Amino acid sequence: MGLWKKNSNSKHGATSVIDHGCEAQGRLNFVGTVAMNGKFRGELFSADTLLLGAEGEVEAEVQVAVGIISGQIKGNITGRERVEISGTARVFGNIVTPVLVLEEGAVIDGQCKTDRREAANHD
């Protein structure tokens, strides 16, 4: 679950970084992989990959193909392919995804549904 490794399912090789000290709000749509260690508030949508580092903080509705979460999310997460929650992650919201990977030590305050149809319906 390394933060900087290329892990996008996209045919686009683009990787964007929102790093320490950056704070943004609004609606973020992206192609490729976004590696986030900063703070974001609003809505996050992508057909690709979100890598949320241990220092990252998101307060948003998150809908991505793949979410690899090591930081904090306040909001619901929909992963169309998979969501991986590392041992340093804190999620305060519901998770819907066909594949959920959960490491020891992770904190989840919400419900988890591993339902392929329901995750696909969030497109």
Are residues 68 and 48 in contact, defined by beta-carbon separation less than 8 angstroms?
no
- What pLDDT, on the 0 to 100 scale, is given for residue 73? 98
d(CA 102, CA 100): 6
- Dihedral sign from CA coordinates of 90, 14, 31, 64: negative
- What pLDDT, on the 0 to 100 scale, is given for residue 102? 95
Are residues 83 and 105 in contact, defined by beta-carbon separation less than 8 angstroms?
no
pTM above threshold 0.95: no
- What pLDDT, on the 0 to 100 scale, is given for residue 121? 67
pLDDT, greater one: 74 or 122: 74
Taking only the tens place, the pLDDT of each residue in 68-119 is 999 999 999 999 999 999 999 999 999 999 999 999 999 999 999 997 776 6
User: What are the backbone dihedrals phi and psi of residue 26, each rounded to the nearest 5 degrees, phi first?
Assistant: 130, -145
Are residues 32 and 15 in contact, defined by beta-carbon separation less than 8 angstroms?
yes
pLDDT classification of 13: cutoffs 50, 70, 90: low
d(CA 39, CA 99): 26
- What pLDDT, on the 0 to 100 scale, is given for residue 19? 85
Please give the average per-residue pLDDT across 19-43, as a whole number.
Answer: 92
Nearest-Å Rg of the Cα atoms of the chain is: 13
